[in-house]
Amino acid sequence: MYRIRFHGRGGQGMKTAGRILGTAFFREGYEVQDAPRYGAERRGAPIFAFVRADKNPILERGIIRRPDLAVVADDTLAPVPAAGVLAGVDAHTLMLINTHEAAETWRQRLALPGRVLVLPASAEVEDRAALPQVGAACAGAAARLVGVIGRDALERAIRQELGHLGEAVLADNLAVALHAFDLMADEAGSLTERPPQIADAWQPPDWIEIPFEGADISAPAIHGALTSELMQTGLWRTLRPVIDRDRCNRCWWVCSTFCPDSAIRVDGEGNPHIDYDHCKGCLVCLAQCPPHAIRAVPEHSEQGGGA
Ligand code: SF4
Ligand code: SF4
């Protein structure tokens, strides 16, 4: 069975990448599962989609924990633990990263135990959630790495999945996906299926005996207050709001009230300060600021200063 995970941000087309690859597998006679997994339905938030494909009925369910191929559409997510890119990645896993950097750089940076390949990233854009056709590129490259999907099956899958978006969008995505497919020609078939797990060889883990406790003690508290602070939604941001202190007239009740995440605190002098651990980058504050004292800076830009 092939197990493939696509990692990216909401808006980058990872669900579509999974759909295209799954449909291409299906057209080649495979049984297929494909499904996206959202932590939060918001543009910029980390998401992943996964595809299983096998010549036999697929009995496995749930998310893929040990991928044969992990495709990373946005390299800023690769080192972020909360994005889960490296979950279950081992020596068998082939990593494909859409990036401007070299494969060896990523292999060393992330201490990856398996092979790393690079999908050369297109020109940088201001808002990474809007990377053009990156989902199609990832699907096309993955299809070639698998080695059992033909160019024709990939093209038909893209027409099936994206045809409703109109000829212009379809043509752009086809061009990008087929280019990525061709780019991976030297690596066709690099992806191998993980040997099946044999139940007879299963060994129980080293259990830790935990003394029995009554449910009033051991049951999790699901109504605990103030836990949202632990959810660092700053990871979702692709554009960073930055306050221009020279223009800010300290009408703090405007930006701090409109911020849906209460991510703007106000100091004793009435100056607003953005909490970048929790600011999710919705830019409501930018739209509401009367003197336009807040600007948006690409998160990946080196000029991304703080406020
Ligand atoms: S709304 Fe704009 S001008 Fe007013 S305090 Fe906030 S950043 Fe400053
Ligand atoms: S972009 Fe502005 S309004 Fe949106 S979460 Fe960040 S600080 Fe709040």
Domains contained in the chain, CATH given:
2-195 (3.40.920.10), 232-298 (3.30.70.20)
CA angle 62, 64, 70 (to 5 degrees): 155
Q: Is the backbone of residue 66 left (phi > 0), alpha (psi -120 to 50) or beta?
A: beta
Q: How far is the CA of 184 from the CAs of 112, 117, 188, in angstroms?
A: 20, 9, 6
- The pLDDT of residue 41 is 64
- The pLDDT of residue 171 is 95
pTM over 0.85: no
Q: Does the pLDDT of residue 253 top 90, yes or no? A: yes
Q: Where are the alpha helices (DSSP H) in the chain?
A: 14-27, 103-109, 134-146, 151-162, 167-183, 215-218, 252-258, 284-288
Mean pLDDT of the chain: 89
> From the CA of 289, how far away is ligand 1's center (Å)?
5
- In this predicted model, what pLDDT tens digit does every residue of 17-26 receive, in sequence order? 999 999 999 9
**Ligand 2 atom index nearest CA of 255:** 3
Residue nearest atom 8 of ligand 1, based on CA coordinates: 248
List phi, psi (to 5°) of 98: -85, 105
Q: What is the DSSP letter of 145?
A: H
**Ligand 2 atom index nearest CA of 258:** 3
List phi, psi (to 5°) of 7: -115, 135
Q: Which ligand is nearest to the Cα of residue 274, counting in written order? A: 2
Q: Does the pLDDT of residue 304 top 60, yes or no? A: no
Comparing CA positions, the residue from 99, 97, 95, 96 lying closest to residue 121 is 99
- In this predicted model, what pLDDT tens digit does every residue of 71-107 receive, in sequence order? 999 988 888 887 889 999 999 999 999 998 999 999 9
Q: Does the pLDDT of residue 297 top 60, yes or no? A: yes
Comparing CA positions, the residue from 107, 105, 131, 101 lying closest to residue 119 is 101
Residue nearest atom 8 of ligand 2, based on CA coordinates: 259
- In this predicted model, what pLDDT tens digit does every residue of 150-201 receive, in sequence order? 999 999 999 999 999 999 999 999 999 999 999 999 999 999 888 877 788 7
> From the CA of 30, how far away is ligand 2's center (Å)?
45
Tokens at 113, concatenated: 């135990």
- In this predicted model, what pLDDT tens digit does every residue of 43-59 receive, in sequence order? 788 899 999 999 999 99
CA distance 171 to 27: 20
pLDDT over 90 for what percent of the chain? Answer: 64
pLDDT over 70 for what percent of the chain? Answer: 93
